[in-house]
Amino acid sequence: MLKTLTARCSSHVAFGAHARRYVHVGEPASPLLRRIIGQNKRGLYIIRRFCSDSTDGTDPDDASARVKSGDGDEAAESKSSSAIVPTLVRPEDCLTVVALPLSHRPLFPGFYMPVYVKDPKLLAALIESRKRQAPYAGAFLLKDEEGTEGSDSEKNIYDLKGKDLFNRLHEVGTLAQITSIQGDQVVLIGHRRLQITEMVSEDPLTVKVDHLKEIPYDKDDDILKATSFEVISTLRDVLKTSPLWRDHAQTYIQHVGDFTYPRVADFGAAISGANKQQCQQVLEELDVHKRLKLTLELVKKEMEISKIQESIAKAIEEKISGEQRRYLLNEQLKAIKKELGLETDDKTALSGKFRERLDPKKEKIPAHVLQVIEEELTKLQLLEASSSEFNVTRNYLDWLTALPWGEYSDENFDVLRAQEILDEDHYGLTDVKERILEFIAVGKLRGTSQGKIVCLSGPPGVGKTSIGRSIARALNRKFYRFSVGGLSDVAEIKGHRRTYIGAMPGKMVQCLKSVGTANPLVLIDEIDKLGRGHAGDPASAMLELLDPEQNANFLDHYLDVPIDLSKVLFVCTANVIENIPNPLLDRMEVISIAGYITDEKMHIARDYLEKATRDTCGIKPEQVEVTDSALLALIENYCREAGVRNLQKQIEKIYRKIALQLVRQGGNMEPANVGTQVQLDEDKVDSGSSSNESVVGAEASENAAEAEIVDSPANQDVTLEDEKNETSEAAKKVEKVLVDSSNLVDFVGKPVFHAERIYERTPVGVVMGLAWTAMGGSTLYIETSQVEQGEGKGSLNLTGQLGDVMKESAQIAHTVARAILLEKDPENQFFANTKIHLHVPAGATPKDGPSAGCTMITSMLSLAMNKPVNKDLAMTGEVTLTRKILPIGGVKEKTIAARRSEVKTIVFPSANRRDFDELAGNVKEGLDVHFVDDYSQIYALAFDESQ
């Protein structure tokens, strides 16, 4: 195929050399020709001289005519052609020709072929014959040497001489006109078929030839026609796909003039890429039908090849254009992402970002972590940017590089400064503050501070969370708070494994990332409300996190590399320490904040809450005064719970109302006269007093003091500026809003909380007990009354939402009371014959706990003996069947509650003496406290009037 192409190219060169002979003519006349090349040809070039010869013997009619009439017609044709280039020797006269061996392909009539003649004698002979104006030679294809293939014979072609050469030549060849000789290049044009008859001379090989003619055929033979059409249509198809072929077709057509069946066959064979044997076969075939059939085979094959070629070309083109498209889109995407600052999938930029993050802290990062980071960075480069794995790795690296490895905030070991900060934020809380100062002192002595777990327990609103924040400030540590109330998923603490979609590290890793230091203060809120996990136990996970023994190598599932939490200071908060899982509680240092008594609340309200609220409301201190009596009333009647959150809310409510009043008055003041307001200054605030002024226009905004001036028309031109100054002056003089116990109701409404104390003096069968709840301490009454009496009817009825513990306490109390009564008054058959009912109000509140035993006994005995207990007495303590009093919890809370209820005498179990002694003096103040370990002591305190 390649050879053919080269040969074809060469023929173009040859045409170039003869360009001067081209003559432009119009449309090809032949219908056959038109069929092959189509109708859209603009113009054709033909070589006149060649045309004169090309018609030779191809038309069967002509041929037969010629055979019959000798060479008369041809002589006429030559004449017409010789009008342009006269030739002295006619082709048909060439019966002895120099034999020119062709190594690649036979020469077909009508085709050009450049040949390189290396044999000097042959070349000389050719030049000679051209000079003699008999420019013809016989071109014969060389037979392949047996056992060798094409290229071999090419090498030997020049060595072949005389007889050897003669034997190697195919007998049938072509009469070739020598059109030009340049150096050793000879350009030939095929004329007519020849057959060697004998050798004339050896060097150069000269042979005698016969001129061959096609076997006469019937032009109208259908089969011939059909075959020829098939060849033509196949050629047309091939021509469509190959523009190169098209050129050939054109050139050929120009040379041969009209197409005839034998010409079609020659043309098809010549331009096909068939091998030389097949071409020689076509050349040798004189039966036109057979020749056409041979050609048809060749062109059909050619058609197939061109189809394959086309599909290969198409596939490659598609691939290239697909790739180009992809490349283009990718480039566009990159540009868009760059524009939007989302250059996320640019791996190099990404790793560059991570490395940039790493560089400053590289020395501080532990070696094993650094190794993991490096591995992940390498992995990132290998992953496809759109794969999910890539995202996982990227996120992972993001976390790894963002953590504050080895970064610590400079700690404050200055005890005095810390004390100042703590006092600044919170009133009281001496225990907590002392504990923090101790911690700082130890840190100062050791040079480093160590992570610890402090647990602040107490009712809501006592400042557990806010003291946590304050401790962080005092220690100069970053503060992070998270609540574990209701947390049941271990993954919240320990993180998810990276393989899950949307996996996240645990809270602690998130904390470190967000605070940016490895020694923050972490406040874990509501640790007593930790949920029960269904898969894994959150409490154990918390333990792993908090335990100083374990957390130096805390392993988060997501992070998968151990992190050091030993420098973190954990502060937990809880309402009820009993609810904290034991192993956790074990490792904590519990500091309980019991709640505040009125006095403490006063201080807190005055020095902390009021100030803070005033600032947040934007009110100046001189604009408001809340009297002590108002505050006291607020605390006593509205905010009796242990904490101060409600107190804070109420104060905020008051200040919001004051702010509104001030703004209203200020608004009134602009247009209204200040006179009324000045008066208000003296009076108490009365919201309605100054609101009925209606003012229109700027002139009216003058105050009363300046009314006369304003009235004077001469002064109408007082500038607006001045007016403004006046009004702001007036605003500064705004009166003080006074909040007193008498007008407190205007600000906070009616008291919601009257008193826990229902009785001035408890009646028979009623005794005041002291209880303790998550909300703090409180007093509660236990009442017993008689239901019915009758021989052997002694029984006990219980109500008041009592839990199992209290129900048992009641049973025990019933038994003990009966025994005591039997001792004190053997005649009294009360318990044996009376059905009694014990109730603990309020009935809607569930109650439980082991501290009501002694109160129940006292209540039952009071009923049995029909004797009320001594006034202002409250008691707490569990009693055994042998009347021993067991210790209770929440001494401080209960003491505070008792004081709130104006109890004078309190009975505590002896075992709680220590707890009571530890209480601050102001809490204990004015209380008559008795510590007992046997019920008989309580009996004396309750019923002995001398007490």
* Cβ–Cβ < 8 Å for 723, 671: no
Binding flag, residue 464, ligand ADP (CB under 6 A):
yes
* Cβ–Cβ < 8 Å for 586, 543: no
- Would you list which residues are annotated within the binding site? 458-465
Binding flag, residue 426, ligand ADP (CB under 6 A):
yes
Task: Among 60, 91, 110, 428, indicate the residue that binds ligand ADP (CB under 6 A).
Answer: 428
User: To the nearest whole angstrom, how small is the minimum distance from the Cβ of residue 367 to ligand ADP?
Assistant: 41
User: To the nearest whole angstrom, how small is the minimum distance from the Cβ of residue 902 to ligand ADP?
Assistant: 24
Nearer to ligand ADP, 176 or 593 (CB): 593
Point out which span in 323-331, 422-430, 436-444, 528-536 binds ligand ADP (CB under 6 A).
422-430
Nearer to ligand ADP, 373 or 602 (CB): 602
Task: Among 427, 638, 931, 935, indicate the residue that binds ligand ADP (CB under 6 A).
Answer: 427
Nearer to ligand ADP, 168 or 464 (CB): 464
Q: Strand order in 453-457's β-sheet?
A: 479-483, 521-525, 569-574, 453-457, 589-592
Helix, strand, or coil here: 113?
strand
Structure tokens at 734: 């705004």
Binding flag, residue 644, ligand ADP (CB under 6 A):
yes
- Would you list which residues are annotated within the binding site for ATP? 458-465
Residue 924: active-site member: no
CB-based closest residue to ligand ADP: 463
Helix, strand, or coil here: 187?
strand
Point out which span in 138-146, 464-472, 632-640, 832-840 binds ligand ADP (CB under 6 A).
464-472
Task: Among 645, 649, 807, 924, indicate the residue that binds ligand ADP (CB under 6 A).
Answer: 645
User: To the nearest whole angstrom, how small is the minimum distance from the Cβ of residue 751 to ligand ADP?
Assistant: 21
Point out which span in 47-55, 456-464, 553-561, 806-814 binds ligand ADP (CB under 6 A).
456-464
Q: Considering only residues 501 through 540, tell me which ones interact with ligand ADP, judged by CB under 6 A.
A: none
Task: Among 46, 377, 462, 766, indicate the residue that binds ligand ADP (CB under 6 A).
Answer: 462
User: To the nearest whole angstrom, how small is the minimum distance from the Cβ of residue 469 to ligand ADP?
Assistant: 8
Q: What ranges make up the beta strands (E) of 504-652?
A: 521-525, 554-555, 562-563, 569-574, 589-592, 624-626
749: left (phi over 0), alpha (psi -120 to 50) or beta: left
99 - beta bridge partners? 138
Nearer to ligand ADP, 101 or 460 (CB): 460
- Smallest CA-to-CA distance from 642 within 454, 780, 483, 463 is with 463
626 - beta bridge partners? 739
423/430 Cα distance (integer angstroms): 9
User: To the nearest whole angstrom, how small is the minimum distance from the Cβ of residue 467 to ligand ADP?
Assistant: 7
Binding flag, residue 613, ligand ADP (CB under 6 A):
no
836 - beta bridge partners? 786, 796
934 - beta bridge partners? 884
CA distances from 32 to 228, 301, 470 (A): 10, 22, 106
Length of the chain: 947
Residue 353: active-site member: no
Question: Alpha helices of 703-803 — where are they, by DSSP H?
Answer: 707-711, 720-732, 744-748
Nearer to ligand ADP, 646 or 703 (CB): 646
CB-based contacts of 843, cutoff 8 Å, min separation 6: 799, 800, 801
The active-site residue out of 272, 851, 862, 901 is 851
203 - beta bridge partners? none
Point out which span in 290-298, 304-312, 351-359, 641-649 binds ligand ADP (CB under 6 A).
641-649
559/577 Cα distance (integer angstroms): 32
User: To the nearest whole angstrom, how small is the minimum distance from the Cβ of residue 603 to ligand ADP?
Assistant: 8
CB-based contacts of 86, cutoff 8 Å, min separation 6: none
Helix, strand, or coil here: 626?
strand
Helix, strand, or coil here: 607?
helix
Nearer to ligand ADP, 430 or 715 (CB): 430
Size of the site for ligand ADP (CB under 6 A): 17
416/332 Cα distance (integer angstroms): 63
Nearer to ligand ADP, 606 or 884 (CB): 606
Task: Among 604, 654, 662, 857, indicate the residue that binds ligand ADP (CB under 6 A).
Answer: 604
Q: Considering only residues 538 through 577, tell me which ones interact with ligand ADP, judged by CB under 6 A.
A: 573
- Residue located via tokens 């005092």: 474
CA distances from 500 to 211, 389, 400, 495, 883 (A): 90, 11, 17, 11, 61
Structure tokens at 369: 């972590």
- Residue located via tokens 């020689």: 280
CA distances from 118 to 101, 160, 174, 186, 852 (A): 11, 11, 20, 10, 133
Binding flag, residue 466, ligand ADP (CB under 6 A):
yes
Binding mask 184-223 for ligand ADP (x = CB under 6 A): ----------------------------------------
The backbone torsions φ and ψ at residue 470, rounded to the nearest 5 degrees and listed phi first, read: -70, -35
User: To the nearest whole angstrom, how small is the minimum distance from the Cβ of residue 362 to ligand ADP?
Assistant: 40
Nearer to ligand ADP, 580 or 644 (CB): 644
Nearer to ligand ADP, 17 or 775 (CB): 775
Question: Alpha helices of 830-872 — where are they, by DSSP H?
Answer: 830-833, 853-865
Structure tokens at 844: 């809607």
Binding flag, residue 478, ligand ADP (CB under 6 A):
no
Nearer to ligand ADP, 596 or 781 (CB): 596
Nearer to ligand ADP, 185 or 483 (CB): 483
User: To the nearest whole angstrom, how small is the minimum distance from the Cβ of residue 587 to ligand ADP?
Assistant: 21
555/509 Cα distance (integer angstroms): 10
Burial class from Cβ neighbours inside 10 Å (0-12, 13-18, 19+) for residue 230 reads: middle
User: To the nearest whole angstrom, how small is the minimum distance from the Cβ of residue 416 to ligand ADP?
Assistant: 20
User: To the nearest whole angstrom, how small is the minimum distance from the Cβ of residue 465 to ligand ADP?
Assistant: 3
Nearer to ligand ADP, 369 or 467 (CB): 467
Residue 388: count other Cβ atoms within 10 Å of its Cβ. 10
624/739 Cα distance (integer angstroms): 8
CA distances from 723 to 408, 697, 716 (A): 58, 12, 12
Binding flag, residue 239, ligand ADP (CB under 6 A):
no
Task: Among 50, 112, 245, 608, indicate the residue that binds ligand ADP (CB under 6 A).
Answer: 608
210/195 Cα distance (integer angstroms): 5
Task: Among 519, 613, 648, 876, indicate the residue that binds ligand ADP (CB under 6 A).
Answer: 648
* Cβ–Cβ < 8 Å for 655, 648: no
Point out which span in 75-83, 420-428, 493-501, 626-634 binds ligand ADP (CB under 6 A).
420-428
The active-site residue out of 276, 507, 601, 894 is 894
Task: Among 129, 465, 809, 862, indicate the residue that binds ligand ADP (CB under 6 A).
Answer: 465
User: To the nearest whole angstrom, how small is the minimum distance from the Cβ of residue 455 to ligand ADP?
Assistant: 12
To 10 degrees, the CA torsion angle through 864, 867, 870, 874? 30
User: To the nearest whole angstrom, how small is the minimum distance from the Cβ of residue 522 to ligand ADP?
Assistant: 15
Task: Among 57, 173, 461, 777, indicate the residue that binds ligand ADP (CB under 6 A).
Answer: 461
List, by residue number, the catalytic residues.
851, 894
Contact set with ligand ADP (CB under 6 A):
426-429, 460-466, 573, 604, 608, 644-645, 648
